[in-house]
Structure 1
Amino acid sequence: MTLALYSGNLLAQSHEWTNLHDEELRRRAVKAAGEKDLPALVSLTTAFLTVQGKSGVLTSPRTVEAYELGVRHFVEFATAQAVNILRPGRHDAQNYINTMLAAGRKPAGVHLKVAAASALYRALRWAGATEADPFREARVPKDPTPGIIKRPPYTEDELADVLDRADTHAKFLLFLTAHAGLRISEALNLHWDDIDEAAKRIHVRSGKGRKDRIVAMSTSLARAARHYRGLYAPGGPDHTDGKRTTPPENVFRYAEMTTARYHLSKAFKLAGVDFRGFHPGRKYAGTRLLRQIKDFGRVAAHLGHESVDTTRKGYASLAADDLKDDLAGW
């Protein structure tokens, strides 16, 4: 079964459930859970996130998609294991977790799936379909290995090789992630007036948690931005190249992460470098900047992290012998 993932206005989508009287809301939710109706359960969870979630109607498309995929994963498990969704057994939630771990899924990925399944049950309780809260006592073991070790940044040589082979679009996108430290969603949502090459700064207006921030540009990034603007800004020779799917004020002609992944992975393949996603670029920015300024707070601000601990654990590290010069005179 194929799901139609996030599209359109969340508020309009939620009306399918919120416009119902309480008894009808409960009846439809009970029916969906009893029949393990995947599209209906996904729709119910999305409506709940829209009405009761932390970000409400401003929940990002990526978050909605992640929860939709997580609900699908749990419902498939419940179907295969004959789990009664409305009346789960006392061990069903932990069995779900243990099954994922035994299959080789990392604790961080399991946490995401559990968050989605928990949201499904919050949605069912919101609809009055059940009182069950099976994941309340379930436990996912912590992974003691820091994220920077499990998923290391790209190296200087790897980035240099890719930049040598990348086209203008891929090169500029890589600079935005590996020098400005932007999330891929932040990069793809940039408008032309967000980039000031002369002042060497970028105004991120769609950061995580809807937080704006100003990001400094490296000399190389500013140079790449000027070149890119000359080609693709409104009025530029390649602005209307027949491939644009975004409004003219958008910097990139595409807005989907899958499309960005396709273009960037092609550049990595040409360079003979393994493409490990967009985050290793952000980690490169964090680690290089930390080794230069040795200030986790400033690096966290550059990357748009609310907590310095996030930066320390997953996005930046100092060399093991970083203190050798400081200790030399002891």
Structure 2
Amino acid sequence: MTHSAELSASLALQPYQGPLSFARLWLEPEQRRREAVRAARDRDLETLWSLVQAHHSLHTTAGSRHTLRTYRNGLRRWLVFTERHAVGLLRPKPDEGALFVRELEAGQVPLERSNKKARTGASAQPAAVARPLSASSVNVYLAGARALYRALRWADATDADPFLDVRVGADKVARWDKRSPYPQAAVEALLLTGDARHRVTVLLGAHAGLRASEIVGLKREDVDLMSGRLKVVGKGNKLRVVNLSASLKRALSEVLIEQPGQALIIGGTPEAARLRLRAVCLRIGVPFLSLHALRHSAGTRLVKSGRSLQDVARHLGHASVATAEIYAKWADESLKQELDNW
């Protein structure tokens, strides 16, 4: 079997084996260089992605699957950009990286590549509509594009680094003005509709403060109803123990009884969970913010109840107390109350 054929067979493996499953396929230096050059020439997303995962798993600190998903999206955006502008992946011009970032900020780079007709010269619209991106989103996509060039240099396919001195523009919106939490009344409305699985999803976010990937990845074995705690692997593969609220314990107990033998309590993908929550919000007239906004609700409610920022950071799994300061901003209504009396 040729190296390309072996790669193709590996990429077809189900279920997903993790980034290390690709590493051994890229260990032979000359094959690695040859296959990387071919994949770059053909803009072969899957092969380039397997190269990035192989390099990431061997030569960087292990990241979460969420990190890898963002890297993949950044790689896809870069492929769209280079295809539209006829940029050679292995020999981009010095300012192509900066132009990529500026176009992301302006909303000129869609996530999807054009269809086959467009690639062969016929006119067609991109598969997805682009929109201006925040500084944080641009940084996410830039990280994925940078990861590609680290992998290509590892493969000795290029010495290019088009993003070496590229900087993302400053975010003009304060952190606390973005992705606000759901008001407590909205959380209560969400809990009055849907089945037990839906209520568990809401409570895992709004009470336990879990991230979207943590919600869908929570396993039955990670929940201990007797002690009232659950274990979750968060950012950077860090394990933390989270205390359960009384209502979350009841909802989890109901779901565990309804789903005997099922390993994952919620399962699916973060995007699927977001879409389910969005559908419920639309049905009951609650403005949809995001699934992650439920986590913000947990932090804000803890601060309002008088808990310290250290308690909030520990409950939500923040590496720094400074990250929890955003919840104090949302929880502080004293200025509004003062102005109401003027």
- Give the alignment partner of residue 288 of structure 2, picking from 248, 252, 275: 275
Structure 2 CA distance for partners of 1:46 and 1:251, relative to 1, 3 Å: same
Work out whether 1:74 is the aligned partner of 2:75: no
Structure 2 CA distance for partners of 1:152 and 1:10, relative to 1, 3 Å: same
User: What residue is the counterpart of 1:248 in the other structure?
Assistant: 262
Give the SS at the match of 1:214.
strand
User: What residue is the counterpart of 2:111 in the other structure?
Assistant: none
Structure 1 contact 167–267 (Cα < 8 Å) conserved = no
User: What residue is the counterpart of 2:318 in the other structure?
Assistant: 305
User: What residue is the counterpart of 1:101 in the other structure?
Assistant: 105
Structure 2 CA distance for partners of 1:95 and 1:315, relative to 1, 3 Å: farther
Distance (whole Å) between structure 2 residues aligned to residue 71 and residue 177 of structure 1? 29
Distance (whole Å) between structure 2 residues aligned to residue 79 and residue 16 of structure 1? 27
Structure 2 contact 97–162 (Cα < 8 Å) conserved = yes
| Structure 2 letter corresponding to 1:152 | S
User: What residue is the counterpart of 2:229 in the other structure?
Assistant: 201
- Give, in angstroms, the shift of residue 125 of structure 1: 0.8
Structure 1 contact 46–68 (Cα < 8 Å) conserved = no
User: What residue is the counterpart of 1:83 in the other structure?
Assistant: 87
Give the SS at the match of 2:94.
coil
Distance (whole Å) between structure 2 residues aligned to residue 283 and residue 192 of structure 1? 25
- Give, in angstroms, the shift of residue 257 of structure 1: 2.4
Distance (whole Å) between structure 2 residues aligned to residue 300 and residue 12 of structure 1? 34
Normalising by structure 1, report the TM-score: 0.83
Unaligned 5+ residue runs, structure 2? 1-10, 108-131
Work out whether 1:15 is the aligned partner of 2:24: yes
Aligned length: 303
Deviations 1:277-308 (A, max 9, x none): 21100000011101222521210111111122
User: What residue is the counterpart of 2:5 in the other structure?
Assistant: none
- Give, in angstroms, the shift of residue 99 of structure 1: 0.7
Structure 1 contact 202–217 (Cα < 8 Å) conserved = yes
Work out whether 1:115 is the aligned partner of 2:115: no
* Matched-pair identity in %: 34
| Structure 1 letter corresponding to 2:155 | A
| Structure 1 letter corresponding to 2:231 | H
| Structure 2 letter corresponding to 1:130 | T
User: What residue is the counterpart of 2:245 in the other structure?
Assistant: 218
- Give, in angstroms, the shift of residue 210 of structure 1: 1.8
Distance (whole Å) between structure 2 residues aligned to residue 36 and residue 47 of structure 1? 18
- Give the alignment partner of residue 191 of structure 2, picking from 163, 178, 202: 163
Listed as ranges, the matches of 1:217-236 within 5 Å are 217-232=244-259, 234=260
| Structure 1 letter corresponding to 2:175 | G
Structure 2 CA distance for partners of 1:259 and 1:324, relative to 1, 3 Å: closer
Normalising by structure 2, report the TM-score: 0.80
Distance (whole Å) between structure 2 residues aligned to residue 265 and residue 318 of structure 1? 24
Give the SS at the match of 1:135.
coil
Structure 2 CA distance for partners of 1:173 and 1:50, relative to 1, 3 Å: same
Structure 2 CA distance for partners of 1:193 and 1:37, relative to 1, 3 Å: closer
Distance (whole Å) between structure 1 residues aligned to residue 155 and residue 317 of structure 2? 36
Structure 1 contact 71–120 (Cα < 8 Å) conserved = yes
RMSD, aligned CA? 2.6
| Structure 2 letter corresponding to 1:172 | V
User: What residue is the counterpart of 2:59 in the other structure?
Assistant: 52
Structure 2 CA distance for partners of 1:106 and 1:32, relative to 1, 3 Å: same
User: What residue is the counterpart of 2:210 in the other structure?
Assistant: 182
- Give the alignment partner of residue 301 of structure 2, picking from 273, 281, 288: 288
Work out whether 1:261 is the aligned partner of 2:289: no
| Structure 1 letter corresponding to 2:170 | K
Structure 2 CA distance for partners of 1:116 and 1:267, relative to 1, 3 Å: same
